[in-house]
Amino acid sequence: MELRFARTEYGKTLLLTTGFSIRYNQPVFSKSNGKFVWVPIIEKAYAKAHGSYKAIESGNIDEAMRDLTGAPSFSIKISEKSEDDLWRIIKRCDEKKFVLSCSVHTTEEKSELYEKEYGIMTAHAYTLI
């Protein structure tokens, strides 16, 4: 299997060990539904390309999307947009078949509020479909 990330050196080969970190009979990091193993393999290669799992923890989703797809990406601070403007941007990007994702970054105390009130984990990437 060969994986190439947009921002790594062309032709650079990453040697991966065959094991995954397991705790309580479950992978410690990402998991796939069913018996598929491609998600943890890609995550392991991505972490290796960046030096460690710690280096990719709670990163910027726009950077990860650019690395994984090679496509341009940008980020929008929704606090700087009106609801109507934000909805127009999302619709326009969806019409152009862009990959859309989002995340919430906030303080520790607001983090608990988001999770309890809205079911949204902060510092976690979500895909918009």
Query: What are the CA-CA distances from residue 101 to residues 23, 62, 63, 126 (Å)?
Result: 29, 8, 11, 5
Q: What is the pLDDT of residues 85-110, one digit of tens each?
A: 999 999 999 999 888 888 887 888 88
- Rounded percentage of the chain residues whose pLDDT exceeds 90: 12
For residue 82, pLDDT beyond 90: yes
What are the respective helix, strand and coil percentages of the chain, to the nearest 5?
A: 40, 10, 50
